[in-house]
A and B are shown apart, each in its own frame.
Chain A
């Protein structure tokens, strides 16, 4: 500052002032970044601790589970816990098969129906469309519990109790949230291809199947994964409709977990629980970009 005022030849010395400010500002920014990173990293340890504890418990002996001071790392990892937890009275082989049928079927149904319905709402013009779309959004707010009892009674009359039909059939009629997500994505696609196809005499169905769906594969994939993930973890639906052990999905099987020798065997319970979390975790890490995009596109969490 002093040098500037003494030499009148130099232009009003904003560059110098700015550099001075900038360098101290940059240092402050660096400090804030460092501090933020530290807090976030420490927070991450807290957030991930339950999963680590779960893994550690699953490898302990029964005695190690109930020890104080606590055993953080089991002396000899008891890998056999996993076999004990997943077999015997607990038929996790069957539960996993049922879950795959349920989650796979539901994901297929929801993806197909939502991809179709979303195209109608995103691209085709018809009187009353906007009012109908508001109705779609309104159903998102509707508590599941209001429709639950009459639905249960319909499905009971149809003789569908203890089958996956009451859980799978409604999925082929779309879901408001996923329709919304796909419609938002379709709206970002350029219209040129469709208009060209229309002039060439293509039908709307062909445009949807040959142009829109291939162009929106990332979004359609995200919808399929989200739907699979939701139904993989679904507890409420199977709790209402599935009664016999041979039809249990993983969620119910885990809730009904029986330790081989009675009592709550936390080491075995954690082993079984951890195994059920592996498929969603693997799927998430493989497809995390889609998840995060889905949330960012709609601003809604799944």
Chain B
């Protein structure tokens, strides 16, 4: 590259054009042109499938629109209607509860497993692969159906095990038969959490690679200072991998807030949100308004609120983490 820059003074001098987007030298111009050619698929896709839809979505959210007839401007009516809609508030509550329950538990189990696997466990590769398998399959319809069967109150495996152990005629006869899981409004969100925890191998993998990146010198130093294992975990491991924990927390929250497939599949697509709206996840209600009731304007308003909430939450998490997250270097590594 040095060869090229040396040639520049020999050429006719040009000034950078178009707000500096077109560079001065001929070779730089050629490279910049090729840059744009290479990224053109993304640029076109971004304009057509992201930017234009975002703008239109903002516009639709201010209209009454049922696809068949053109949108009618109503200003902020959709937002006001949502504010007064009890099911909408319920969907926020369901999603919030699920997020608060499933994300911290997923991080906890993921981190614990990663720490255990990092203790010179033999056949690490085999364990890693098998633990990751559920994470790979977790989003599929088959797994949602599997859990609706596992959590079946009468004949599902989980309640069968509970009954075998502590049921009326069980090993320890306590008369416990297990909850009605997905059929009991109070147990629906714990049931979905259980399903999401099954995939905690994905988080584990991220932590495991982070743990392997912590310099052993730090542990040796801590040991010389007389720190025991627990102290080492909290004073070396956690600070060193805190950026990764923050990252998994943010992606976990964003993911949990967009739960859809399992909720849709488990209700069989018929009684969305059943029983008693206890599984009315945010996006399930959005889908219901958009594609069952054809209230595209209202659903667009829901989508926009979700966008703003995710944006604010992400900023808040970054802001709150400034004090707690330790960054080892200011290298480009962040991106």
Query: Bound complex: CA of A215 vs CA of B286, how far in Å?
Result: 45
Query: Bound complex: CA of A173 vs CA of B251, how far in Å?
Result: 23
Tell whether, in the assembled complex, residue A126 and residue B127 are in contact, meaning their CB atoms are under 8 Å apart: no
Contact segment of A75-83, A100-108, A280-288: A280-288
Nearest neighbor of B32 in chain A, beta-carbon distance:
A126
Report B106-125 residues with CB < 8 Å from chain A CB. 113, 116-117, 119-122
Tell whether, in the assembled complex, residue B31 and residue A36 are in contact, meaning their CB atoms are under 8 Å apart: no
Tell me how far the C-beta of A227 lies from the nearest C-beta in chain B, rounded to whole angstroms: 14
Are A174 and B42 CB-contacts (below 8 A) given A141-B254, A149-B60? yes
Are A119 and B38 CB-contacts (below 8 A) given A40-B117, A276-B140, A291-B136? yes
Nearest neighbor of A293 in chain B, beta-carbon distance:
B209
Query: Bound complex: CA of A134 vs CA of B332, how far in Å?
Result: 13
Query: Bound complex: CA of A53 vs CA of B158, how far in Å?
Result: 10
Tell me how far the C-beta of A100 lies from the nearest C-beta in chain B, rounded to whole angstroms: 16
Interfacial chain B residues near A233, Cβ < 8 Å: 137, 139-141
Tell whether, in the assembled complex, residue B155 and residue A288 are in contact, meaning their CB atoms are under 8 Å apart: no
Interfacial chain A residues near B117, Cβ < 8 Å: 36, 40
Tell me how far the C-beta of B73 lies from the nearest C-beta in chain A, rounded to whole angstroms: 16
Interfacial chain A residues near B102, Cβ < 8 Å: none
A2-44: contact bitstring with B at CB < 8 Å (1 yes, 0 no)? Answer: 0000000000000000000000000001001101110111011
Query: Bound complex: CA of A69 vs CA of B335, how far in Å?
Result: 55
Are A270 and B149 CB-contacts (below 8 A) given A142-B307, A150-B53? yes
Interfacial chain B residues near A117, Cβ < 8 Å: 38-39, 41-42
Interfacial chain A residues near B21, Cβ < 8 Å: 126-128
Query: Bound complex: CA of A237 vs CA of B191, how far in Å?
Result: 25
Are A29 and B261 CB-contacts (below 8 A) given A129-B35, A139-B46, A139-B50? no
Nearest neighbor of A229 in chain B, beta-carbon distance:
B136
Tell whether, in the assembled complex, residue B137 and residue A281 are in contact, meaning their CB atoms are under 8 Å apart: yes
Tell whether, in the assembled complex, residue A299 and residue B42 are in contact, meaning their CB atoms are under 8 Å apart: no
Tell yes or no: B264 within 8 A of A by CB: yes
Query: Bound complex: CA of A147 vs CA of B128, how far in Å?
Result: 36
Tell whether, in the assembled complex, residue B157 and residue A126 are in contact, meaning their CB atoms are under 8 Å apart: no
Are A43 and B31 CB-contacts (below 8 A) given A153-B67, A277-B140, A284-B136? no
Tell yes or no: A136 within 8 A of B by CB: yes
Tell whether, in the assembled complex, residue B137 and residue A143 are in contact, meaning their CB atoms are under 8 Å apart: no
Contact segment of B85-93, B182-190, B198-206: B198-206
Query: Bound complex: CA of A170 vs CA of B46, how far in Å?
Result: 10
Nearest neighbor of B243 in chain A, beta-carbon distance:
A299
Tell me how far the C-beta of B13 lies from the nearest C-beta in chain A, rounded to whole angstroms: 17
Nearest neighbor of A207 in chain B, beta-carbon distance:
B34
Interface residue from B130, B206, B269, B283 paired with A295 (Cβ < 8 Å) = B206
Tell yes or no: A274 within 8 A of B by CB: yes
Query: Bound complex: CA of A240 vs CA of B291, how far in Å?
Result: 8
Tell whether, in the assembled complex, residue A269 and residue B149 are in contact, meaning their CB atoms are under 8 Å apart: yes
The B interface is mostly helix, strand or loop, or mixed, namely helix
Interfacial chain B residues near A44, Cβ < 8 Å: 127, 130-131
Tell me how far the C-beta of A273 lies from the nearest C-beta in chain B, rounded to whole angstroms: 4
Nearest neighbor of A191 in chain B, beta-carbon distance:
B1
Interfacial chain A residues near B54, Cβ < 8 Å: 142, 146-147, 150
Are A299 and B209 CB-contacts (below 8 A) given A120-B35, A174-B42, A240-B291? yes
Interfacial chain A residues near B45, Cβ < 8 Å: 113, 170, 172-174
Contact segment of B76-84, B230-238, B297-305, B322-330: B297-305
Query: Bound complex: CA of A267 vs CA of B116, how far in Å?
Result: 36
Tell yes or no: B142 within 8 A of A by CB: yes
Are A57 and B39 CB-contacts (below 8 A) given A145-B258, A195-B1, A204-B31? no
Tell me how far the C-beta of B288 lies from the nearest C-beta in chain A, rounded to whole angstroms: 13
Interfacial chain B residues near A251, Cβ < 8 Å: 140-141
Interfacial chain A residues near B56, Cβ < 8 Å: 150, 153
Interfacial chain B residues near A43, Cβ < 8 Å: 113, 131
Nearest neighbor of A32 in chain B, beta-carbon distance:
B119
Are A236 and B261 CB-contacts (below 8 A) given A50-B198, A149-B303? yes
Interfacial chain B residues near A32, Cβ < 8 Å: 119, 229
A-B contact pairs, 18 of them (CB 8 A): A43-B113, A68-B160, A117-B38, A120-B34, A126-B32, A127-B16, A127-B22, A137-B335, A139-B50, A141-B254, A142-B50, A143-B257, A149-B60, A153-B56, A255-B265, A266-B152, A277-B140, A300-B251
Residues in A lying within 8 Å of B, measured CB to CB: 29, 32-33, 35-37, 39-41, 43-44, 47-51, 53-54, 57, 65-70, 113, 116-117, 119-121, 124-129, 132-137, 139, 141-154, 156, 170, 172-174, 179, 195, 199, 203-205, 208, 229, 233, 235-236, 239-240, 251-252, 254-257, 266, 269-270, 273-274, 276-277, 280-281, 284-285, 288, 291-292, 295-296, 299-302
Residues in B lying within 8 Å of A, measured CB to CB: 1, 3, 16, 20-23, 28, 31-32, 34-39, 41-42, 44-46, 48-50, 52-54, 56-57, 60, 67, 113, 116-117, 119-122, 127-137, 139-143, 145-147, 149-150, 152, 154-155, 157, 160, 163-164, 198, 201-203, 205-206, 209-210, 229, 244, 247, 251, 254, 257-258, 260-261, 264-265, 268-269, 283, 286, 290-291, 296, 299-300, 302-304, 306-307, 310-311, 314, 335
Query: Which 10 residue pairs of A and B lie closest in terms of their CB atoms, listed nearest first?
Result: A173-B45, A120-B38, A150-B53, A126-B32, A147-B53, A273-B142, A150-B56, A126-B35, A124-B35, A36-B119
